[in-house]
Chains A and B, each alone.
Chain A
Amino acid sequence: MSSRYYTETHEWVSIEEGVATIGVTDYAQSELGDVVYVELPPPGKELGKGDAFGSVESVKAASDLYAPVGGTVLAVNEALKDRPEAINEDPFGGGWLMRVKVEDGAADGLLDETGYQSLVATEGSN
């Protein structure tokens, strides 16, 4: 199993054979509350690292999504159209957002599990 890396804006990315799967973290879904709509880019779109690539609407608020890695969008999770709550139920599995074709070293500079957990611990105590 490949490792997961994280952004400070609470997206995760997992890269296998040049394909990055991207989603939002369990902490993010819990902060967002019930997700009711997800806006995602069309396949083929070129994204730069850190680009706003879509947004999530929850009962509480709208939040932008930022690309943890740059690359070409290969696919988005179509199942979220009918069941956006999959993001709440299974953020690291069935609630994935999109797949992006990336170059080697795309995850450089991202937080690892330990780094992300300490970030969440800091935010959670605020």
Chain B
Amino acid sequence: MTARATPLNARHRASKARMVEFAGWSLPQQYSSVRDEHRAVREGTGVFDVSHMGRLLVSGPGTPEFLQRMLTNDVGRLGSRRCQYTLLCSASGGIIDDLIVGRGEEAADPWWVVVNAANRERDLAWLRDHAPAGVEVRDRTEETALLAVQGPAAASLLRSQGLDLEELRSFAWREAELAGIPITVSRTGYTGEDGFELTVGSAQAVCLWDMLCEHGAVPCGLAARDVCRLEAALRLYGSDMDDATDPFEVGLGWVVKLEKGEFEGSDALRERRGGGSRRKMIGVLGSRRVIPRHGQLLSRNGAAVGFVTSGTFSFSLDRGVGLALVEADAAESPDPLIVTQRGGGDAVTVDPTGLPFYRRQPRQTPV
């Protein structure tokens, strides 16, 4: 099967980006070097093509109630043009996907949902199977491009191009115009930095991308995105969690609002929370030499206690870092863990400061 191409595919190829197939899409892995792209996001502005992310629109009478019943977070708390991080769980409490859901001006307006590319078809089928008569779930993914503009200088770059960011707080969104191009902009991202995600019509995607790059945004690929999200300890579906993990063990209990009433998976989740998690997600620190990798086993005193779910080299910390799912008892001890690699074992320590590995500086200007 040929990989799907985003509206920016030709631009990436013309710029000699190194392309990779991800979740059935052809996407840039890196433009220059991961080191430089990471630095751009942490110190300036980086721009990512994330058009592979699934964009669904849910509309019709009863939509808020439907979403409240399907998602673990409380959509009732969402104000006008706000969005939130949330989960789709099965009846047994396993995680089907993690996503962002957004409300329009009024609760009766259409709601949008951004899901993981790899789960798009499954989420769509799941939502449609559960939707009551009158609620429609449409897949709008291939009608637009999605650009993530991330970094401490992202706001000033967009402002310099005439985008009014007044009132656009974290997890707010609205329609706008940028250099004459109609877009929707949300103050969201997956890098741990201040940033924005812009939805733009496919035909204008290249124009917008070029404009952002001309004004200092550094084109970035999936590799830098993975380093940034991992430093910020943002979970990745399929690596850090899946159907077999529940939200509590991977540290996402904060998006499960059991008090909001019955919802898909709520009985199982209530039971799981009450019982306490057997496993816990922790951060592990390696070194320049020891870089934890997905799937590697962790042990202590010769006994297996868990495994690495994501690992990479953190340019911010100048050492290997990883997320790991370990037995709850093992998470409490400060003693080193042994990660199995190079046909032997190397010591990693449990991050004593807790997650995330990297925390951004507070914004200097109140916008």
Contacts and interface: CB of A to CB of B under 8 A. Distances in A.
Contacts, number: 40
A36 B288 contact: yes
Contacts of A39: 289
Interface residues of A, number: 15
A34 B31 CA distance: 12
Given A37-B289, A85-B33, A62 B342 contact: yes
A44 to B, nearest CB: 21
Given A55-B342, A57-B313, A62 B30 contact: no
Contacts of A1: none
B15 interface: no
Contact of B288 (A33, A37, A61): A37
B291 interface: yes
Given A57-B313, A59-B223, A62-B342, A34 B288 contact: no
B270 interface: no
Contacts of A85: 33, 35
Interface string A57-79: 11111100000000000000000
**Size class of the B contact interface (CB-based, 8 Å):** 10 to 19
Contacts of B29: 33
25 contacts: A30-B18, A33-B29, A33-B30, A34-B33, A34-B34, A34-B35, A34-B313, A36-B288, A37-B288, A37-B289, A39-B289, A55-B342, A57-B289, A57-B291, A57-B313, A57-B320, A59-B227, A59-B312, A59-B313, A60-B223, A61-B293, A62-B291, A62-B342, A85-B35, A88-B33
Interface of A: 30, 33-34, 36-37, 39, 55, 57-62, 85, 88
Report, nearest first, the 4 A-B pairs whose CB atoms are least far apart.
A34-B34, A36-B313, A37-B288, A59-B34
